[in-house]
Amino acid sequence: MNILKRKYPFLSILIFFIFFLFLIFNFSKSEENKNDLENYLEISIDNPVSKKEIETEKIFLNIDPLFIKVISLNDYPKASFIIENSSKKTLPLFEKNIKKGENVYSLDFSLEPDIYTLKLEINGNIYSKKFIIKNSFLKYQILYPFVLKFYYPNWQILDHEIVEKIYTNFLKNSVNEKVNGFKVMLVVKNQNGAQFAVFSREIKEKKENSFNFIDYINDLEKKEKEIIFNVDFVQDYKIFKKEIKNNEANYQIETLSNGINYLIVSKSILIENFLKQKYLITFNFTFPNKYFSYYKNFVDFIFENVDY
C-alpha cells in the first residue's frame, strides 16, 4: 500500500477536534476585552491650556505595533513625547509638530513588560496616558528527536497527552485512520476562542529517495477533506490560500463551526534528525475571523521566528 495513503490529515482537523474536546471538558468561552484588540494609544486633547490626565489604562502585548494618536483643536509647533516606566525611569521619544485634527505617531521599537505612562508636554503642560505591556510569549524547546525552537502565546496550556489520546482514539474509532508516529507537542487556548497547536508526525519511507514532499502534502489535504465532510461539528470549510515550496507548506483555511467563522493559519515544515529520519512539524493557529488584524501579529511573529 502506498505510504501516502496511510497518513492522516494534518491541518485543521486537529483544531476542529480540539473544539470538540472543549465541549467534552466544558471549557467556557467569554468575549475578549475589546481594549486588548486595539493597537494604538489615544490621547484626546480637548483644551491644551489646562492640565488633563486620562485615567483609563489599556493593555497591550509586547509584540503589538503601538501608535500614539493625538486629537487636537489647535496647532502646536513643538510637543515633547516621553514614556515613563513603573520605576519612574524616563525614555524621551521625540518632539513633534501637532496639527489641528488627528495626529498619529508610530513607535518603531518594542517595550518590555511593565506599567508605563506616556507623557505629552505642550507649553509646560503635561498630558498623560497609562498603559500596560504584558509578556505575550514564552520560548519552548524540543531536544529530541530533533532540535526545534519556537515561540507560543502565553495562554492556558492544555494537557497535550490527553489531547493526543482523545484525538488518536477519535481517528481510529471514527475513520479507521492509522496514527502511529503522531505526537501532540503543544496546545494552548485563550478565552476568546483562539487556539495554537503544534504537532509532529514521523514519515516512514519504504525506499530511499521515494519521498516527494508536494505529493505527501497534497495527499494529506485530500484525506483531510474526506474526514471533514464525515463529521458534523464543522459546517463549512474552504481553503483560500495554499503555498508549497522548499519543504514547507502554508495554508489559510476558513471554517464555520457552531455559527462562528474561524480562520486557520497553518505552517508545516519538513525536518530531519541526526539519523536522517524525516518528521513533519505543523503549527496551527485558529481564531475567530473577525479578530484577524489582532491575531495576525501573533501569527507573523511565531512563524517568522521558528528555528530548527
pLDDT per residue as tens digits for the range 200-238: 988 887 666 678 899 989 988 887 777 777 667 778 889
Specify the CATH number of the domain 3-31+136-304: 3.40.1000.10
Residue-level pLDDT at 12: 52
The larger pLDDT score, comparing residue 146 to residue 170, is at 146
* pLDDT above 90 (res 195): yes
What's the rounded mean pLDDT across residues 123-130?
84
Binning pLDDT at 50, 70 and 90, where does residue 67 land?
A: confident
Least confident interval from 19-33, 167-181, 262-276: 19-33
8 Å CB contact between 131 and 58: yes
What's the rounded mean pLDDT across residues 150-175?
81
* pLDDT above 60 (res 27): no
Residue-level pLDDT at 207: 65
Residue-level pLDDT at 206: 65
Are the folds of 3-31+136-304 and 34-134 the same? no
Cα separation of 267 and 281, whole Å? Answer: 8
**What fold does the segment set 34-134 form as a domain?**
Immunoglobulin-like (2.60.40)
8 Å CB contact between 55 and 237: no
Q: Where are the domains of the chain?
A: 3-31+136-304, 34-134
